[in-house]
């Protein structure tokens, strides 16, 4: 387990694009953890932008009873955000990794 996994508890599940789309179609919340500038430059339709450095303070904007799929540009920030969400009591957290995996 990497540094962020140890720090934030890990426990998220890495998923590919097909599984992420299936989860979102079934009602999972899709969260883009990139910066607002990156988000404005193009995002997956329906995604909510909560930058990774704000995820811990903004968990109330998400429903902890519903699944969450997180993504970023290359996969590092989404892994960190997934760990924060798991440590904050979210039961089903899925890490798509990079937006390109969608």
Residue 36: partners with Cβ closer than 8 Å, 6 or more residues away: 49, 51
**Cα separation, 39 vs 95, whole angstroms:** 17
Catalytic residue of the set 30, 72, 85, 96: 72
Residue 72: partners with Cβ closer than 8 Å, 6 or more residues away: 32, 33, 34, 52, 78, 81, 97, 98, 99
**Cα separation, 97 vs 101, whole angstroms:** 7
Active site annotation includes 8: no
Query: What amino acid positions are annotated as catalytic residues?
Result: 72
């Amino acid at each position: 387990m990497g540094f962020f996994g140890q720090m934030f508890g890990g426990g998220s599940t890495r998923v590919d694009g097909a599984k992420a789309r299936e989860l979102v179609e079934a009602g999972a919340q899709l969260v883009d953890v990139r910066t607002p500038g990156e988000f404005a430059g193009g995002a997956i339709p329906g995604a909510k932008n909560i930058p990774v450095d704000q995820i811990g303070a903004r968990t109330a904007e998400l429903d902890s009873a519903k699944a969450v799929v997180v993504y970023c540009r290359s996969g590092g920030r989404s892994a960190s955000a997934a760990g924060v969400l798991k440590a904050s009591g979210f039961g089903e957290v899925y890490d798509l990794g990079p937006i390109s995996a969608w």
